[in-house]
Each structure stands twice: as structure tokens, then as C-alpha cells.
Amino acid sequence: MMKISILHLGGTISSFLDEKTGGVSAKYTAKDILKLYPEIKHIAEIDSKLIRNMWSQDMRFSHYNIIAKEIEKEVKKGVDGIIITHGTDTMHYTSAALAFILEDCPIPVIITGAQRSSDRGSSDAKLNLICSCQFIANSNFQGVAICMYESMEDKSCLILSPTKTRKFHTSRRDAFKVVNGKPIARVTEQGNVGFIDKHNKKENKILKLKLINEDIKIGILKSYPGMLAEQINFYKNYDGLIIEATGLGNLPTTKLDKETQENEKILEALKNLSKKIPIVLSPQTIFGRLNLNVYSNQRPYQEIGLLGNESDMTTETTFIKLAWLLSNHKEEVSKLIAQNLRGELSSRTSLDFLDYVYQE
């Protein structure tokens, strides 16, 4: 049987009702998970290890490095695959971070979780965990991916890109979808695996860790009507800034009348800040890509050094990628932010978002 290591980080999949607080708490141990879902022992030889019992919203860059180092230990042991149980709120941040940190990962590293706690009858924990095991045991996949519910029909899970996936719903079990791309594969509880998109196939590689500097400070700012230049200036002591631009990449920077004088100040603030730190635009629209060559008001953006033209990366992945680049390739940020390093950028825009409208 294949050897799979499960590294536990807490979250809803590790939670149950806390009678003291009336809410759910992440308190399951590594052994508890194996007792709850003994079916996985028939799929592979399982080793289970608790790394943290924490909510994913509490994670920091240092935790991504801790997880990566634990993965490196398991790889050196010779395991065939790794499952990481994780809270869902920031699962897509962690998946992107590991995709960049784990260079030339020789085995599958599957991140999974649950939208509903393991003690609930409607929990998605069991199917997500079993499908993660089945995918490792019955595929030739290599690298980092997410495994979560496909639909409310409780029949299958999808294997999702670590750098193009986003949480689209607060509580639905099928909350995770790929943005501007396709799922990697579909897997059932019985172990049937069907690949939907191209993937990294197993080959001999030597894992290298390229960690994120834990002291890096990256800001995220959303563009909106009524912005002030002082909001841009706030980030002068940061290492980088992500700005969610509207539409094809628009910002409120055009002075049209006395009521829009502040917009001129915003453009000047961007010009001054971009001389100090990289400023990267990402699409506020979620689907589609930026194009800073369409409108005349956008032309100055590239002239003053704003990055992100033609990007279809999610804001979350843009945030993680910039932190990773500043940690490992600081002198090449402006060049590498526009290059597809881990499947984070699409060569063409997908229309699959039309399939992601939830049908009640």
C-alpha cells in the first residue's frame, strides 16, 4: 500500500461543538481523525501528525514556512503523498504559498478541509478526506493541489489549482472554484479519477524550499469611488502593495472638475510610491484579465511603474506571489510578476466562470 502522511493544522475539519462557548472549536488530535474516518486505512498506509490546532485566518507567513519544512521531512522519509487538513477561510492563500515555496515537489501535496464541522451529519469532511487519499493512491499527479466538494450531490470532489482557486461561498460545501481556468481532476469516494486539465505528472525531482521572508509587509488595497491619496501614502513603509483595480484595471486618477481634484493627488501618490516599492494591480472583477492599454487614462500607470498588466491572477495569489518574489527574487520582481511560474497566469481567458453560478 502507498504511504500517505496527514499533517493537521486545525480548522473546521478538526472541529466539534464546544459546550463552553456554544460554537465549534478545533480540538481534534491526529489520532481522532483516524478514529473518525477508519475507511482511509483501507486506501493507504496512513501516518497522522498534528502541526497546529488553529483557525486559518490566524495564519501568518511564518506558518507557511513551518508547513513547508514539515512537508520536507515527510518527503525525506519517502512517503508517496501528503494530505494537509486546513481551515477553509484562507486555504487558497496557503495553497498558493506552498506552490511557490515547494520548488520541484516530487510527490502530491493535497490540501483539504471542511465547510461544516466533523460532528455534523452534513459535514463534508469525510468525502473530502477520502477523495484526497484516493486521488493520491490512484493518480500520477505531482505537486500541490486543493481537494474539495464538487457539488451538493455528495458524489465527488474536485482537484483544484493551488494558485487559481478561490472560496466563493461562506458556508456551502462546494464553495471552492477555479478562477480563469479548469479543475485539474474529478475524484470519487470509490477511487475513480478523471483528469479534466493538464497536470504535472510524477517524475524524479529533488525538493527545494524557497521560503517567504516572515517580516515581509505586503498591503492589499481595494480601489473604490471616493478614495484618498493618503490611503496610498499609508503604505510607504511597506515592502509591496496590491491594488484591486476596477474593470480592465482602472483607478480613480483622472481630474475632470473641482470635485475630482483628489484623483490627481492619487496619481501623484502612486507615482511616488512606485519608486520605493512594487505596486501590483489585480482584477477586482475576479474573472477576466487586466488590460492597461485600452483606456487613455490607464496609459500613465505603466509609465510610472505600476505592474500587473494582462494579469488574470486572483488578488490572493498576487499577494502571495509578490511576497515570495520579494523574499527570493527581489531584483527581478517587475519581470517575474508577469511570468507564469506555478500555473497562476493563464495564456488565455477561460469562459468557464459561466458554469460557476450556483443553482439552488
Which amino acid belongs to residue 213? N
Residue 247 is placed in which grid cell? 474593470
Distance CA 184, CA 342 (A): 14
Q: Is 215 a catalytic residue?
A: no
Whose CA is closest to 135, among 187, 212, 61?
Answer: 187
Residue 17 is placed in which grid cell? 461543538
Which amino acid belongs to residue 171? S
Q: Are 125 and 13 in contact (CB under 8 A)?
A: yes
The catalytic position among 85, 88, 94, 317 is 88
Cα–Cα distances in angstroms (integers) from residue 6 to residues 31, 40, 44, 111, 136, in the given order: 11, 11, 11, 10, 12
Distance CA 120, CA 171 (A): 13
Which amino acid belongs to residue 38? P
Q: Is 88 a catalytic residue?
A: yes
Cα–Cα distances in angstroms (integers) from residue 300 to residues 260, 268, 307, 335, in the given order: 17, 11, 12, 19
Residue 124 is placed in which grid cell? 463534508
The catalytic position among 32, 47, 80, 89 is 89
The catalytic position among 12, 90, 253, 315 is 12
Give the DSSP H or E segment for 220: strand 218-222
Q: Is 12 a catalytic residue?
A: yes
* SS3 state of residue 76: helix
What does DSSP say about strands 185-188 and 15-17: parallel, antiparallel, or unpaired?
unpaired
Q: Is 163 a catalytic residue?
A: no
The catalytic position among 85, 112, 167, 188 is 167
Phi first, then psi: what are they for 191, rounded to 5°? 100, 10
Burial of 301 (0-12, 13-18, 19+ CB in 10 A): buried
- Active centre residues (catalytic): 12, 88-89, 167
